[in-house]
Structure 1
Amino acid sequence: MGRTSRKKRSTLANRAIIASAALILGGGGLAAVNVYASAGEGAAGSSHRNWQPVRQVSTIDCPEVVNEIPEVPGPARAEVDRELAAMDTQITDAYREFADRRDRMARDPELAQNAVLGPLEARRTASIDRIATAIGRRAERPEGLGSLAPCSLRADDEADEPTAGPTDQPTDDGSTGNGSEDGGGEGEGGDDQGQDAGQGGNGPEDSDFVDIRSVQPNVEKPARLRGASRGTFTTECGRNQNGKFNPDNVIAAPGVANGAHHMHDYVGNQATDAFSGDDDLAAGDTTCRNQGDRSTYYWPVLRLRNGAAESDAEADGGGKDQNTGEIQTPSQVTLKFVGNPTGKVRAMPRFLRIITGDAKAFTNGDANANASWSCTGFEDRQLKDKYPICPEDSQVVRSFAFQSCWDGQNTDSANHRTHVAFAQDDGRCPNGFRAIPQLVQRIVYDVPPGPGFAVDSFPEQLHKPVTDHGDFINVFDDKLMRKVVSCVNGGRKCR
């Protein structure tokens, strides 16, 4: 698969700088020009947006079922995971149908209900019933899940009220950010082009970007106590120079090809795909310099949304799922394990799985959002719900500080979250959890400044920066994990 890693600014970058200035001065998503020409534009890039004085519905908003189901018995887990992945596919298919007739549906809620929302609700109802039945064979059948079946349509700048859909089903969005309060989607669309045709048809918008220089320093760290574990262990696993990509998610959708509906970068374990079991991972090759680390590290690719076709333009996870543009190889990837500010850490169990961030945070709300965006030279200023516009000679940085507290028993959980937790504000783990080495990922990109890049996402999440996320499966051998713990607890810097 073709990839680009840019070392020089081009005329494209100059255009982006001009557009960035217009964005800063001109008020968010109501910028007057498209920065990047889409694949369908002429050589002059003369496409224009059709501004309309009406709000355009932008996406499909569905309640997240996995957050509401009870603990799933082990024998039922595979069937439940398959149905949850099927529900993601149902939303993807419905979004395609919606996107094809977006303007008509904005004007005719009945069409949206009959053509998209009604059929989607029927499919979701069937999947939810199968989930309840699978759990009910081994434990008490969960009740009330059927209320999660209806979905709604919403505008990009709409936090609470659905534009079309069941009036008794408000959108499930409790966020205070997500780029939704800026009104960036208002008045865009026209000709069924979506929010920003020049950047791929389903976002992001200009209002999803902010000049990092306008952000005040906002990084705070808890004070370290006397018994803090102050050391670090850095594992060097490359930048995915060999181009391992797939649209699978072995944690959230095991056994399901294209379970993520977006492309992932992989470093570390090279055997990772939807069908990898623990034995496969233990035997897999690794890009890590220390062969005792066969862990899997993966995250959504970042693309330059410049209208150029990537080699996955007709593939699942790529163009078929509305992820378009040139995949960018990071200029730097740092994988570091750090300690706890209040005490010692203990070894994490082999095959521990951690997802940090929320791939559906745009519609779910930002309760589980955790990715941070910044620029080199400005990393005391972190963004959660905006992409940064970096100055010339500064590079884009995305970072993930993973959950650092473990329940002491489980390597995974039904919703892939409750077996691990974040430390509290004072650095201590919640009751019942124990501190483990915290994975901190830092990924750097040399891309042109301005609103012209985005992470891959589920189609209906519109490539919002708040949806960024990272995934990790621990496949350290026991000897190396003991070294990690010793280095972190002993205050040493190790590799």
Structure 2
Amino acid sequence: MSRKLSALAVAAALVTAVVPIFGTVAGQSALADDLVTHHEFQANCSVTTHLPDDPIVLPGLPGASHLHTFLGNDSTNAHSTNDSLKAGQTNCRTPDDKSAYWFPSIYNGDQVVPPNFPQVIYYKSGILKYQDVVPFPPGIRFVVGSPAASQDEFRTAPGAIEGWECGDSTHNWDIPAWCVPGSQLNIRYQAPSCWNGRDLDSADHRSHMAYPDRATLVCPASHPVAVPMIEFKMAFPVSGDMSRVRLSSGRGYSWHYDFMNAWDAPTQAALVRHCVNGGLQCDPRGYDQYKPDRGAALGPDYRLPR
């Protein structure tokens, strides 16, 4: 994880108080000089399968979608529901995150190129006042980005961070034509982090969510509830001549992804409270290696005590 200060981090206030679950004295608060540079934790999840399914956009219609690469919950398919996900298993490092994550598959010619190691899904604060972020409500789902986006819409989308990158090539708004051999193709893209407080889904699977105001980093009045800002950071083992590399949904600017929340609620709440509200840069256990005195949100088995 990068230690570079972001504009959001520099502007953030100092930590006031947080009570970690493991590794500190009960009731201990962060020190006044504990500068906040991050407010996040990770979900590290691996590929489970590739299917032409989309349980959010095309529920109950197997084979009706372009090919998607699925991470996390191994039961995800066109028929997935909140209940079926909770009954499934996950390969995410935190075993009580049974959420479903997916995105359009990447091809090199006719061959699918899957990520070949656990991928990083960040849960961050998207607002300035990170102490106000609350966990996702059970069952919420949404789509981030659009397969129908133009290149300019992708470039200017509030969820775009660096676009596509490989080696020293960054800020590409389509898949680069060439990547240094041995490098990887990467994409970073942020999700909206303001919820309307009512709907777990909407007709377009987007309208119940909104991005914070770019200037103030405050949620709009129409979507007043600040939830974690998900940021996909995906890496694909493909390089060299990229002329045949494409998304199953089309050009690189058709990148998008989907999320169905199936976290164990107390586990997610502990990570949000300790890491996001607490101003830490946490791994999937809720531990900040740069601030070991702050402890961890979860136990050695990446779970809350039962």
> Structure 1-normalised TM-score?
0.46
Amino acid at match of 1:235: A
After TM superposition, give the deviation of residue 270 of structure 1 in Å.
1.4
Amino acid corresponding to residue 261 of structure 2 in structure 1: N
Equivalent in the alignment of 2:234 = 443
Q: Which residue, out of 180, 198, 203, partners 1:414?
A: 203
Q: Distance in 1 between matches of 2:278 and 2:256?
A: 30
SS across alignment from 2:172: coil
Residue in 2 that maps onto 1:327 = 112
DSSP 3-state at the match of 1:387: coil
**Structure 1 position 468 matched with structure 2 position 273:** no
Q: Deviations over 1:444-480 (max 9, x none)?
A: 12213232211101xxxxx211111111111111111
Aligned residue for 1:480?
267
* 1:282 equivalent in alignment to 2:86: yes
- Paired residues of 1:357 and 1:369 also in contact (CA < 8 A): no
Quote the residue 1:354 is aligned against.
142
Matched residue of 2:277: which SS? helix
Note the C-alpha offset of 1:259.
2.8
Corresponding residue to 1:342 among 111, 124, 128 = 128
Runs of 5+ unmatched residues, structure 2: 1-5, 16-35, 285-306
Q: Are residues 1:231 and 2:39 paired? A: yes
Change (3 A) 1:347 1:417: same
Q: Aligned partners of 1:300, 1:351: CA distance in 2, in Å?
A: 22
SS at match of 1:485: helix
1:87-98 → structure 2 map (5 Å cutoff): none
Structure 1 residue 361: deviation in Å? 1.8
1:493 aligns with 2:298: no
Amino acid at match of 2:99: S
Which residue number corresponds to residue 452 of structure 1?
244
- Residue 377 of structure 1: CA displacement? 4.5
Alignment of 1:403 onto 2:200: no
Residue of 171, 190, 196 corresponding to 1:382: 171
CA distance in structure 2 between the partners assigned to 1:221 and 1:390 by the alignment: 29
Residues in 2 aligned to 1:392 and 1:245: alpha-carbon distance in whole angstroms: 26
Deviation at 1:389, TM superposition (A): 2.6
Kindly provide the CA deviation profile for residues 20-55 of structure 1, in whole angstroms up to 9, marking residues without a partner as x: xxxxxxxxxxxxxxxxxxxxxxxxxxxxxxxxxxxx
C-alpha distance in 2 between matches for 1:347 and 1:448: 38
Deviation larger for 244-253 or 447-456:
447-456
The two structures, once aligned, show a CA RMSD in angstroms of 2.4
Give deviations 1:5-24, integer Å, cap 9, x for gaps. Answer: xxxxxxxxxxxxxxxxxxxx
Larger strand share, 1 or 2: 2
Corresponding letter in the other structure for 1:329? P
Higher mean C-alpha displacement, 337-346 vs 352-361 = 337-346
- Taking the aligned partners of 2:236 and 2:198, their CA distance within structure 1 comes to 37
Tell whether the 8 Å contact from 1:400 to 1:470 is kept in structure 2 after alignment: no
Asked whether 1:430 is paired with 2:220, we answer yes
2-structure distance, mates of 1:369, 1:453:
25
Greater relative contact order structure (CA < 8 Å, 6+ sep): 2
1:493 Cα deviation (Å)?
A: 2.8
Q: Is the CA contact 1:377–1:394 (under 8 Å) kept in the aligned structure 2?
A: no
The residue identity in structure 2 corresponding to 1:335 is I
Larger Rg belongs to: 1
Measured in 2, the distance between the counterparts of 1:350 and 1:364 equals 34
Task: Say if 1:233 and 1:493, in contact at 8 Å, map to a contact too.
Answer: yes
Given residue 193 of structure 2, which amino acid in structure 1 is its aligned partner? S
Q: Find the aligned partners of 2:174 and 2:239 in 1 and give their Cα distance.
A: 20
SS at the partner of 1:361?
Answer: coil
Note if contact 1:331-1:445 (Cα within 8 Å) is conserved in structure 2: yes
> Could you say what secondary structure the match of 1:490 adopts?
coil
User: What is the match of residue 207 of structure 1?
Assistant: none
Q: CA deviation at 1:391?
A: 2.2
SS in 2 for 1:244: strand
TM score, norm. by length of structure 2: 0.73
Aligned with residue 392 of structure 1, among 181, 206, 209: 181
Change over 3 Å in CA distance of 1:364–1:258 after alignment to 2: farther
Paired AA for residue 250 in structure 1: P
| Structure 2 residue aligned with 1:136 | none
The partner residue of 2:63 within 255, 258, 265 is 258
SS in 1 for 2:134: coil
Preserved CA contact (<8 Å) 2:186 2:234: yes
Structure 1 letter corresponding to 2:189? F
Q: Is the 8 A contact 2:69 2:103 kept in 1?
A: yes
Structure 1 segments of 4 or more deviating over 6 A?
none
Q: 1:248 to 1:227 in 2, by over 3 A?
A: farther
1:323-364 Cα shifts (integer Å, max 9, x gaps): xx1111213411111113411211111121121110122499
Matched residue pairs, number? 246
* 3-state SS of paired residue (1:392): coil
Q: Secondary structure at the match of 1:349?
A: coil
- Whether the 8 Å CA contact 2:182–2:239 is kept in 1: the answer is no
For residue 304 of structure 1, what is the aligned residue in structure 2?
108
* 3-state SS of 1:493 partner: coil
| Residues 471, 297 of structure 1: alpha-carbon distance in 2 compared, 3 angstrom cutoff | same
